[in-house]
Amino acid sequence: MSTQQYTVVGTRPIRHDGVDKVTGRAQYGADFQMAGLLYGYVLRSPHAHARIKRIDTSKAEKFPGVKAIITAADFPPTAERLVDLGEGDTPLSYARGNVLAGGKALYRGHAIAAVAANSVHVAEEAANLIEVDYEVLPAVLTAPEAMQDGASILHEELKTKEFGEQTGRVSNVSEHFRHTMGDIAAGFAEADVVIEREFNTATVHQGYVEPQNATALWNSDGRILVWCSTQGAFVVRDVTACLLDVPVSHVRVTPMEIGGGFGGKIPVYIEPVAALLSKKTGKPVKIVMSRKDVFEGTGPTPGSHMKVKIGARKDGRITAAQAYLAYEAGAYPGAMVGPGAMCVFAAYDIPNVVIDGFDVVVNKPSTAAYRAPGATNAAFATETVVDEIAEKLGIDPLDLRLKNAAKEGTRRADGPKYRRVGCIEVLEAMKNHPHYNAPLGGPNRGRGVAIGFWFNIGLPSSCNISVTADGTVNLVEGSTDIGGTRTSIAMQAAEVLGIPAEDVRPTVVDTDSIGFTAVTGGSRTTFATGWAAYEAAQDVVRQMKERAAKLWETDAAPVTLERGVFRAGEKSMTFQELAAKIEQTGGPVVGRGAVNPKGAGGSFSGNIVDVEVDPETGKVSILRFTAFQDVGKAIHPSYVEGQMQGGSAQGIGWALNEEYYMSRDGAMMNSSLLDYRMPTALDLPMIDTHIVEVPNPGHPFGVRGVGEANIVPPPGAIANAIHRAAGVRMRRLPMNPPAIMEAIWRQRD
Amino acid sequence: MPAKVRVQTTINGEQIEFLCEPRQSLLECLRDVLGLTGTKEGCNDGNCGACTVMLDDRVVTSCLVLGVEAEGAQITTIEGIAKGSELHPLQRSFLENAALQCGICTPGFIVAAKALLDHEPNPTEDQIRLWLANNLCRCTGYDKIVHAVQQAAAYSREVRA
């Protein structure tokens, strides 16, 4: 456990951008204004699968106030190559096709054309005058359906890759991969109990409250300037440059404040569209999505069809585990089934494992990351099967998990061997928590537990720190601040410099003004950009020591810095006093930090949840919820708790209510925040948090990253609680009242 | 293009006159006509609460009010909650309790919570959750928001005592 004593790390300062965010002054993407602004509107496909035979824009062009109209034909012709979308590569034609459909519309909501006009209302009216001839094709909406022989094919050129080899077979399965470890048949033969279950989970959306937005100006000097809300300004820069066939240095992206993302604001949708409209008009163009566009036109996270089979001996030791994971990629390949397969059994030390993953395209929006993408679906399956095994063997579900918990040296079936991890510590914290043995206090109530894992990522980050004569420092970095990371990054610099967090002024800057920084995603920002800040601060310290040595006419080596005081022998000077003298000792002090860390440490999480199931209506109420997570080291505990609470709330929504409710022909029937029901304040209890700190050996302060693992256990924990409350095993998400009633009635029959 | 209508209203204590199209919502007028972008758009159909403002004594989602309905009204937006440079107790307690992450829903929550505290200075947890049920927050799970409102109520009690 964490024992190191810090001055700033682990405290709870007020966030640096706080005042602007509670007074309405903070500028989010949609707040951006500039002279001569035009407004864009995107026309979207009303069909889930259709060939686009003709687009006639002539009527729309004549509509008063319209300045320009574009379609996919306005993209420059570019040769096929791979594009890095921030969390993986994809062929350019797919990236471009999702921004504006070429030959086919592949989902309802797929962008077809865009209009720029002098008001958003004019642009919308004009867009509705665009005539599109569609040849409607049969739609496939789920993985099992899309995998059938004779299923309607989305991409005629897409051939299945199997075990890394091209098969040459055209199908909706983009890839089938397999991870194996040990001898699966021998493992199951050794088991006293084997349980195999089948699961289905619905497509769900990240549900950020701020819709996507972008303003672009294609300037007369050839530079494209973009202002938008994104998780990765450099991804927007690179993808925009790639699709518009200009050098990356011609694009400057200014990340505005961002109203949530959770993975959904990594992909690029409207920035290249706004840029093309700007090129045609010579004016800046702003596009803001409607909520319906957000649901129908941006990437939700995959629905899935899964089978999980686990075998254990009477003593509770798991001997073998097998998973079949078919995830819906949506319109283009890339279903997050890779990370799902990495996480499905990641919390356990199991000798014999086989995991099959299928990436399946369907006629729904192209999916995106959502907080530990792929892991929540998989853990729902694993954690409910593990619970059944514990029940069958008469072993306490936490004891069974402890007996099989992943630990240092455990190898996952996909390859990696764990360094120091906190799975056991999380389980022990759960077992020792008063919640675990508290009385339930009423009928129709039950308590469930589950655990989860997310591996977290590293990737490049950059940070510069300039010393100001008054003893404060200015810190600039390239990570969009979604949840308080300006502060968690600044605190790591402050710790090194020995100054208060308030004396570090962090700013998130545009892509011209800082070195490459990867997305705010993968729980990496406090880990990797924090590490860049640590390095930049170390660089400042080195230079400041030289300045002190110069003043004191001694060698740099013996100067020390402790708690903000430089010392050499008898001489001492505070950081502030020395900062006042930087002008006379050689001029500005600027520290640089640029990292590409490999030491991301996986994070384990767990939930104890109490529910009450109304046997008449099937409504599930969450009575009590406690979230546990190994965070390595909590830099700012309040915002760490906030991540745990927020991930829990999203997991609860995913478990109980949220789904893309699709018509047979592929229309989303609930594309509003009234009908796509996310938890409100009235639906949730207080969410208690228990921070576990097993320092990550791969980070200077032991940080693991905290953003994602917390969403993984809730559906499994809630399903297990429902079983104890109502006697039914739920095997699909969401576990909404109709699903619960159906299960209860089936059991009565 | 429809003719514009002249609207005279009071926003955050200031008498204001603006021109708007009859089809423009109050939200659009605040943001695009008057530059008061602290009021946010999350759904434009009354379901997320990010655009919450006070219209006379009512809490409203400004996306469901027409700009022309502001005629003669008293409107309070997030920009009018602080007294000059002095933050309102709710603004302080939101900061101290880390009751915001991305911050997009925060203006709406603060306006709605202020309406609650003006109506009921000592709200129970259930009352807080009920009054804030029209405001969606996807980041926090509401725990720290509820605590922040409880603390702001305590601050206000101290001031009165």
Report pLDDT for A1: 46
Report pLDDT for A749: 77
Taking contacts as CB-CB distances below 8 angstroms, the residues of chain B near A682 are 129-130, 133
Are B96 and A14 spatial neighbours (Cβ–Cβ below 8 Å)? yes
Grouped pLDDT means (10 residues each) for chain A, 749 residues: 79 98 98 97 98 98 98 93 82 95 97 97 98 98 97 97 96 98 98 98 98 98 98 97 97 98 97 98 98 98 98 98 98 96 98 98 98 98 98 98 98 96 98 98 97 96 98 98 97 98 98 98 96 98 96 83 94 96 96 94 97 97 98 98 98 98 97 98 98 97 97 98 98 98 92
Nearest by CB: B48 against A12, A261, A673: A673
DSSP A256: P
Task: To the nearest 10°, report the CA torsion of A507, A512, A513, A519.
Answer: 50
Taking contacts as CB-CB distances below 8 angstroms, the residues of chain A near B45 are 291, 672-674
Are A335 and A357 spatial neighbours (Cβ–Cβ below 8 Å)? no
The length of chain B in residues reads 161
CB contact under 8 Å between B133 and A682, yes or no, is yes
CB contact under 8 Å between A678 and B138, yes or no, is yes
Are A6 and A494 spatial neighbours (Cβ–Cβ below 8 Å)? no
Grouped pLDDT means (10 residues each) for chain B, 161 residues: 88 98 97 98 98 97 98 98 96 98 98 97 98 98 98 87 68
CB contact under 8 Å between A682 and B37, yes or no, is no
Beta strands A165-170; B52-55: pairing state? unpaired
Q: What is the DSSP string of A214-246?
A: EEEEE-TTS-EEEEE--S-HHHHHHHHHHHHT-
B95 lies within 8 A of chain A by CB: yes
Nearest by CB: B141 against A65, A482, A687: A687
Nearest by CB: B136 against A24, A122, A209: A209
The ipTM assigned to this model is 0.98
Euclidean distance between CA atoms A363 and A47, whole angstroms: 9
pTM: 0.97
Element (H, E) at A748: helix A737-748
For A118, which residue in chain B has the nearest alpha carbon?
B1
Nearest to A421 by CA among A460, A451, A384: A451
Report pLDDT for A556: 60
B window 26-85, beta carbon within 8 A of A = 31, 35-45, 47-48, 50, 77-79, 81-82
B22 lies within 8 A of chain A by CB: no
Binning chain A into helix, strand and coil, the percentages to the nearest 5 are 30, 25, 40
B19 lies within 8 A of chain A by CB: no
Nearest to A523 by CA among A638, A606, A632: A632
Nearest by CB: A680 against B42, B100, B133: B133
Euclidean distance between CA atoms B53 and A229, whole angstroms: 24
> What is the SS3 assignment for A591?
strand
What b/e sequence results for A463-476 when a residue is b if at least 16 CB atoms lie within 10 Å of its CB, and e otherwise?
bbbbbbeebbbebb
